[in-house]
Amino acid sequence: MNRIMRWAKEWVAPLGLAVIISFSFNTYVAQGMKVPTGSMLPTIQLDDKVFVEKMVALTDFKFGDIVVFYPPLKGEEDKRYIKRLIGLPGDTIEVKDGALYRNGEKVDEPYVKEQMKYQFGPVQVPEGKYLFLGDNRNDSLDSHLWPTPFVDKSKLVGKAMFRYYPFDQFGEIK
């Protein structure tokens, strides 16, 4: 009995602290995520696992970042989506003649392998909101199909930083 008590005194506090730190890290700092769809093909494959930095308040989101967020869709509010950030607050976004235009300028998108087969916009992104498109533009449930094309900053989960699975694809996501 004495040996058990000694073991408990030695290990319970460190193990409890480890659980608290792990939970806090996963909740507030960073988290792994499995990609559930092919909407980001060819950049991210179906079932890839990515590391998401979750410190949204400290993150400076930029055009082209790959971001995880909760979509503005009825019935999908609890699902996490992963898409490319296309429109920042104040930007005007348009898809015409198979190309993306941001603030009137045609955008070079080497990560998009197929010309877009739809028209969208022009729309101006409101303050505190963002607009997202999947890299697999013609087969992605994203801003161009949503009744409200904008995602509120409060719905952002974080920025996808790198892929950690499959191992042969380990590295930064661009």
| Catalytic residue annotation | 39, 83
Question: What residues does 52 pair with on adjacent strands?
Answer: 31, 160
Enter the tokens of residue 45: 């494959």
Distance (Å, whole) CA 46 – CA 100 = 24
Distance (Å, whole) CA 70 – CA 150 = 11
Tokens 């003649």 belong to which residue?
Answer: 97
Tokens 């008590």 belong to which residue?
Answer: 5
The whole-angstrom distance between residue 90's C-alpha and the CA centroid of its chain comes to 20
Nearest C-alpha neighbor of 81 from the set 13, 16, 12, 160: 160
Tokens 């995602």 belong to which residue?
Answer: 151
For residues 87 and 131, the answer to whether their CB atoms sit within 8 Å is: yes
A 10 A CB-CB count for 88 gives 17
